[in-house]
Structure formats: structure tokens, C-alpha cells
Amino acid sequence: MNIISQYQIEWKGNQYTNKSSRRGHAPSIIVNHITEGSSDSTISWFTSSTNKVSSAHFLVSKVGRIYQFVKIEDSAWANGIRSSEYHRATAPIVQEKGVNPNWYSVSIEHEGIYRDTRGELTKEQLAATIWLHGYIIDYVKKNWNVDMPADRKHIIGHYEIDPVRKPFCPGEKYPFERIISALKDVSEIELTDIKGHWAEPYIKRGVEAGLLNGYPDGSFRPNQYVTRAELAAVMVKLLDLEK
């Protein structure tokens, strides 16, 4: 139960939290950031009456707690650039969309100081942000029927939108590839090592129901002990199915 409760989203937004309309644009990318401060200072800044400049949808702390300030339905103020700056962005989607990136993005802040971490996450933070990325992808699919593929075009860093002012957000050690491989659609995974195993039909049924997952290398490793994180992922999916 502890494993599950650490992935509850804690609402922190208030009447001072900056937000605006998406102007009809569906969320279609996740943009990752580093806070350059503690979780506590980020929470107080995003709820302060004196902050008239910034916000984010989510914050993931170093101990793996997840906070939310802005509904996914609204734009957070995290990735704004002028239209004259779109050409500087290295993320191809900025050119393609040609509108304010806040209108089509969902932003996640990660507690950390670039000078200390270079964007690397704690183990708890990585597990929580993987879960959160999956939550956002599912939420967007359910509410807008928009697919947000788990790839580097749709899961990006702030530096790819604003390479001039934010070159170190979230930092070169931010684990994009680990997050993406953890999120890879189960349907893309061909399980290579379950043939003839006694549990083969059960494993297949579990994968089809979206309860179980293979490894990114296409194996299932049926005799390997299940880890806490793997069990947590199954439990989260079970609870979701029951709703």
C-alpha cells in the first residue's frame, strides 16, 4: 500500500497560481524541467501572489512525491517564448505548431540544482516521473483522444524549446531514454523468452490486459524475482482497472 500511495498526486495550486487557456489546442508534448531550488521553495513560488511570471503543471520531488499546480486542461506558464524565437528551438514540434508552446504542452518540474545533479534524478524521483509521464499520456488519450507517443519528439526538455535562456533545463543527465523505454507500449514488445514456460498463457493474458510488461530488449525473464517497482506497476494498473 505504501508503494501505491507514493504515486498519489497532491494538489497544491491556489488562486495565485499562474495559468491560462489552451485556446483550443490539445496537449501533445511533455516538457521536463529542473527547479533550481527545493520542492518547498518551488511550491511556495508557484502559489505566491508575487509570482506573475511562471508555473508548471507538476512537480516531482527527490523523495518521489508528486504535486500538481495547474489542471492539464489549462496552460501552465513554463515554456513561453516569443514567436520571433520559435526558429531557435531545436524541438521540431515548435516549428511545426507555430504557436505558443504553453498551449500544447504539459510541464513537469523536477526538484534539483543543475550545478549539483546535471539533471540526474534520484531513484524515487525517476520511478515517480515514469509513473507521471504514463498518467499524463493516459489522461490526454482519455480526454482529448490524442496520442502522445513515448518518444523524444513528444517527451522533451525545456532546453529544446528555449536553448538560449534555458540551456541547462533539465540538464544533460536527465534520463529521457530510461523514461521512454519504461513507457514503451506493451503491444510493441514481442516477448522472446516465454515460449514453453509453464506461465506462458498467463503471462500473455497479463500482457494483453495491460497488466504486465516485458523488458525493452523483448524478454520477459519469467524466472526472475519481481522487483518492488514492477509489483507497484502491476498494482497501479490493477487499481486503475477496478475504477
CB of 226 to Zn ion, least distance (A): 36
CB of 42 to Zn ion, least distance (A): 11
Closest CB to Zn ion among residues 27, 170: 170
Closest CB to Zn ion among residues 102, 213: 102
**Cβ neighbours of residue 13 under 8 Å, at least 6 residues apart?**
19, 46, 47, 68, 69, 70, 71
Give the length of the chain: 243
The amino acid sitting at 201 is: P
Q: Which residues bind Zn ion (CB under 5 A)?
A: 33, 158, 169
CB of 118 to Zn ion, least distance (A): 14
Closest CB to Zn ion among residues 119, 134: 119
Closest CB to Zn ion among residues 89, 169: 169
CB of 199 to Zn ion, least distance (A): 44
For residue 60, what are the β-bridge partners? 66, 110
CB of 10 to Zn ion, least distance (A): 21
Cα gap 161→85, rounded to integer Å: 9
Closest CB to Zn ion among residues 54, 219: 54
Cα 60 from chain centroid?
9
Contact 107, 31 (CB under 8 A): yes
What angle is formed at CA 45 by the lines to CA 115 and CA 28, rounded to 5 degrees? 80
CB of 169 to Zn ion, least distance (A): 3
Closest CB to Zn ion among residues 57, 158: 158
Exposed / middle / buried, residue 120 (Cβ in 10 Å: 0-12, 13-18, 19+): middle
| Helix or strand run (H / E) with residue 127 | helix 123-144
Closest CB to Zn ion among residues 59, 150: 59
What the block records as the C-alpha cell of 227 is 522487483
Cα 88 from chain centroid?
24
What angle do helix axes 176-183 and 123-144 make, rounded to 10 degrees? 50
- Biggest alpha carbon–alpha carbon distance for the chain: 64
CB of 159 to Zn ion, least distance (A): 8
